Chains A and B, each alone.
Chain A
C-alpha cells in the first residue's frame, strides 16, 4: 500500500468514526426522557405555550426526520441554532474553543515537563524517596476527581495563601487583548500587552495543572518504565564504560531512546484533556467549550450539546489522524 492509499483509508475510517459519534450523540440526546421545551419554559408554563414552542423548534417532527436534518447540517458544519444563546452553534463553538484549546495546550506543556522530569528522576533514583513521592503523586493523579483536586488547590493557593487567582481567564477588571487567535497568552504577546500576558499566565496555571494532572501521572509512569528498560540495555553500559558523564548518559542516551512510548501516550492523553475540560472549566469559571457543553446539558440545549460534542470528537480524530500520518512518515511499517 502506498502512502496515498493509506491516507484515503485513514480518512474513510475517520468519517465512519465521526458518523458513529454523531449517531450516538443524537440518539442519547433525543431518547433520554427529558423535555427541552419544558426546561426552557419552566415547570409551571401553560400547555398552550409549550405546544407553541415545540412547533416553533421543530420538536413535533418525527425522530428520523430530525436525525436526517442533523446529519445533513453537520456535514455542512451547521449544528443548528443554540436554544439558549440563539446563535448558530458553530459560531458559539468558534467563540469558546480557543479558551479550551489554550487550557489544553498549557496543560499538556506542564504535563510533559513535570511528567518526564518525575519519570526520569524516579527511574534513575529507583525506590528512593523521589521515586516513592512520584508513585504517590501519580496514584493520586489518576484516582482523584478533577473537581475535588481543583477545589482543594483553590482553597490553598487562592483562599489561604492568595498566591494565585480564584478563577476566570483574566482579572475581573482587565480587558481581554485584541482577538487574533482567541488564546489570551498568544494574543496578549502579539499585542505586546505584557501585563495582560502575566495575568493570563497566572490565571491559567492552576486550571492547567489540574486539567493536566492525570496526564502528568500517566506520562511520569510510562517514562519511568521505559527509562528503566533502556537503562538496562547494553548501549547504556557501553556509554557508561566509555566514561561519559552521568547526566550525558541519562539525558542524551537513555532519555532520547525511551521517548517513543512517552510520545505515544502524549498523543493519547491530549484527547483526554479536551474531555476533562468539561469539569475543570466549571470549577475554575473558565469560559470554554467544556463549560458551554455543561451549561447546554443543564439547559437541555441539544443543538449545543450535540454540536460541541461532535466538534470535540472531530478535533480528537483529527489529532489522531495527524499522529498516525507522522508515524507513517517516520516508520513505513505502520502503513501496513
Chain B
C-alpha cells in the first residue's frame, strides 16, 4: 500500500515539473469569461466582445475607425456612397475584387442577401433597422435593393443625418456573408443561422476556425483578405470565467491579455513587471435617474438639489479607482457635441437651500433601486450617505439586473442607478435615449415629458449641417443639465491587463465598445 502510494506520488511529481511554455509569437492568447457568448452569426451577435470577434471575421458594408480620437464611419465593402436629394435613399457602390475567405468573389448579391438577413431572421440586433429606419419583413424588398452588379440602395423613413445612418450601418449586422456557403448550410429555412453560430463565411481579416463553447475560440488570419495581412496569425480566446484566475494566468504568461479584470485585480497584477495596464474611454455611462412623476422628484429644484448633494469625485476615485471619467453631460467624450463643462459638485448648503425653496426643508424619504453588482452596491451606498447629508433619507433596494430593468421599463422606480451603452457613434443615440420621451427610452422611463428637449432631439436627428447639429446638442445638454431627471455619475473606461510584449494594444482597443481592431495588435 505504502509503496504504491509513493509510486503514484513520484510519477505525478516527475510529469509535473516538465513545465509549461509561454504563448507563441504569432498568436494572441486572450483570457475571458466567454460564458455570455451566444453566437458568431453577424446578423444576430449582439454582445460587446463577441461582436468584436465576429467583426474580425467579416468585412462590413461600412466600418468604424478612430481618427484623431473621434470614431467615424469609413468605407469597407461599400467603397463609396451617395445620398439622394431628399436624403432618404443611400446608394452604396460595392468594392470590386474582394474575395471571401474561401476564395469566392464577394458580389452585390451577397451584400443584398446579408443586409436582408437580420430582418428576415427577426434578429435582436435588427431593431435598429426596424425601429429606427422603419424597414421590416413586409417592406424589406422595397427598402433594400440591388440596382446593378455593383450597386445597392437602402431607403429610409426619414432624412437622418449622414453620420447617424452610417453609424447605424456600421453595426455588426451589416457584416457580409457568403450567400452560397450560407445557403448550402441552411436547415429548415433558418438562413444558415445555426451553422453560422460557430462558423464564419466572411471576408474579414480573420476566419473562425474553432469554437468549443465554454472552452476556446480560435481565429486564424484570412489568406484572401483584401487588406494587408494582420501581424498576428492567430487569435485565441480561452474561457477563464474567474477574473482572479485571469490574473494568475496573465502573471504566469499563459495568456497575453486578461479581458475582465476588476480594478482591484488590475492594481495587483500591474505590480508584476511583465504586466502593463491599458485604458481607453468607454462608450457607456453610469447615472442616477429620478422618476419625474414621483412625489418630491416632480419638482426640478428637488432634482437639482440631489445633483448638488453627490460627491462625484469620490465615486470616480474611491469606488471606480479612477477607471472612470467625470463626464456629467449625456454625450460621451470622443463624440462631437461633447460638452466639457461639469457643472455639478457636492455643495450641501446649496442643496439644502434648494430643498427649502421647493418646500422640503426637512428633506424627504425616497427609494433607490439598483442591481446587485459590487460596483452598483457601492455607488448606491455612497449616494445614500451623500443625500443623507442634505436631509434626504434613501432606502436602498438591491435586486437582480433583469428585475431592476423590468421595474424601470414600467416607470415603477423612484430613483435608480443604471447605465447606458451606446449603440452607434453619434450623439443622436444618446440624445434620443436621455432627453426625448417620444423615443420611449430613458427619458420616458423617468417620466420626463419635456417637449422642448424632445423637439431639439428630433431636429438634431435630421439637421444635415454638422456644425448646426453640434450646436443643437450643446444647447440641449445645457438645458438638460438643470431640467432633466438625471445626475450623470461618470463615463466608463475600458481597461485590460496585458503582457508587456504585446504591442499597439491601446491603438487597437481605442473605441472599444464600438470597435476593436485586432489587425493592429502585434507581439
Query: Nearest chain-B residue to A82 (Cβ)?
Result: B38
Query: Nearest chain-A residue to B39 (Cβ)?
Result: A86
Contacts of B241 in A (CB 8 A): 282, 285, 291, 294-295
Q: Answer yes or no: B503 CB below 8 A from chain A CBs.
A: no
Q: Answer yes or no: B409 CB below 8 A from chain A CBs.
A: yes
**Inter-subunit contact B124/A287 (CB<8 Å):** no
**5 pairs, CB–CB < 8 Å, chain A vs chain B:** A42-B46, A46-B131, A163-B17, A172-B238, A172-B255
In the A-B complex, the 3 residue pairs with the closest CB atoms: A295-B35, A43-B405, A287-B215
Query: Nearest chain-B residue to A164 (Cβ)?
Result: B16
**Inter-subunit contact B238/A163 (CB<8 Å):** no
Contacts of B255 in A (CB 8 A): 172
Binds B, one of A197-205, A214-222, A232-240, A312-320: A197-205
Q: Which of A38, A39, A166, A172 is B23 in contact with, Cβ under 8 Å?
A: A172
**Inter-subunit contact B406/A38 (CB<8 Å):** yes
Query: Nearest chain-A residue to B404 (Cβ)?
Result: A43
In the assembled complex, the Cα of A299 lies from the Cα of B440 at a distance in Å of 25
**Inter-subunit contact B242/A33 (CB<8 Å):** no
Q: Answer yes or no: A84 CB below 8 A from chain B CBs.
A: yes
Contacts of B418 in A (CB 8 A): 43
In the assembled complex, the Cα of A39 lies from the Cα of B400 at a distance in Å of 10
**Inter-subunit contact B440/A154 (CB<8 Å):** no
**Inter-subunit contact A48/B15 (CB<8 Å):** no
In the assembled complex, the Cα of A165 lies from the Cα of B245 at a distance in Å of 11
Smallest beta-carbon distance B330→chain A, Å: 13
Q: Answer yes or no: B220 CB below 8 A from chain A CBs.
A: no
In the assembled complex, the Cα of A329 lies from the Cα of B442 at a distance in Å of 68
Question: What is the total of A-B residue contacts with beta carbons within 8 Å?
Answer: 144
Q: Answer yes or no: B249 CB below 8 A from chain A CBs.
A: yes
Binds B, one of A49-57, A131-139, A185-193: A49-57
**Inter-subunit contact B38/A166 (CB<8 Å):** no
* Given A85-B197, A291-B241: A43 in contact with B408 (beta carbons within 8 A): yes
> Interface majority SS on A: helix, strand, loop or mixed?
helix
Contacts of A44 in B (CB 8 A): 420-421, 433, 441-442
Query: Nearest chain-B residue to A151 (Cβ)?
Result: B244
Q: Which of A41, A283, A295 is B214 in contact with, Cβ under 8 Å?
A: A295
Q: Which of B17, B122, B242 is A283 in contact with, Cβ under 8 Å?
A: B242
Q: Answer yes or no: B19 CB below 8 A from chain A CBs.
A: yes
Q: Answer yes or no: A229 CB below 8 A from chain B CBs.
A: no
* Given A172-B238, A202-B15: A53 in contact with B124 (beta carbons within 8 A): yes
**Inter-subunit contact B402/A34 (CB<8 Å):** yes
* Given A96-B214, A295-B36: A154 in contact with B248 (beta carbons within 8 A): yes
Q: Answer yes or no: A36 CB below 8 A from chain B CBs.
A: yes
Contacts of B236 in A (CB 8 A): 172
**Inter-subunit contact A172/B29 (CB<8 Å):** yes
**Inter-subunit contact B245/A202 (CB<8 Å):** no
Since A38-B406, A165-B20, A202-B16 are in contact, a sample of 20 more A-B pairs with Cβ atoms closer than 8 Å, ordered by chain A residue number, is A41-B124, A44-B421, A44-B442, A45-B124, A45-B127, A47-B440, A48-B130, A49-B127, A92-B213, A117-B1, A151-B244, A162-B19, A166-B245, A166-B252, A168-B239, A201-B15, A285-B245, A287-B214, A292-B214, A295-B241
In the assembled complex, the Cα of A168 lies from the Cα of B238 at a distance in Å of 9
**Inter-subunit contact B251/A159 (CB<8 Å):** yes
In the assembled complex, the Cα of A84 lies from the Cα of B16 at a distance in Å of 37
The residues in A between 261 and 303 inclusive whose CB is less than 8 angstroms from any CB of B are: 282-283, 285, 287, 291-292, 294-295, 298-300
What string of 1s and 0s marks CB contacts (under 8 Å) between B376-415 and chain A?
Answer: 0000000000000000000000001111111011000000
**Inter-subunit contact B20/A162 (CB<8 Å):** yes
Q: Answer yes or no: B181 CB below 8 A from chain A CBs.
A: no
The residues in B between 16 and 49 inclusive whose CB is less than 8 angstroms from any CB of A are: 16-17, 19-21, 23-24, 29, 35-36, 38-39, 46
Smallest beta-carbon distance B125→chain A, Å: 9
The residues in B between 183 and 232 inclusive whose CB is less than 8 angstroms from any CB of A are: 193-194, 197, 212-216
Contacts of B194 in A (CB 8 A): 86
The residues in A between 14 and 42 inclusive whose CB is less than 8 angstroms from any CB of B are: 33-36, 38-42
**Inter-subunit contact B19/A294 (CB<8 Å):** no
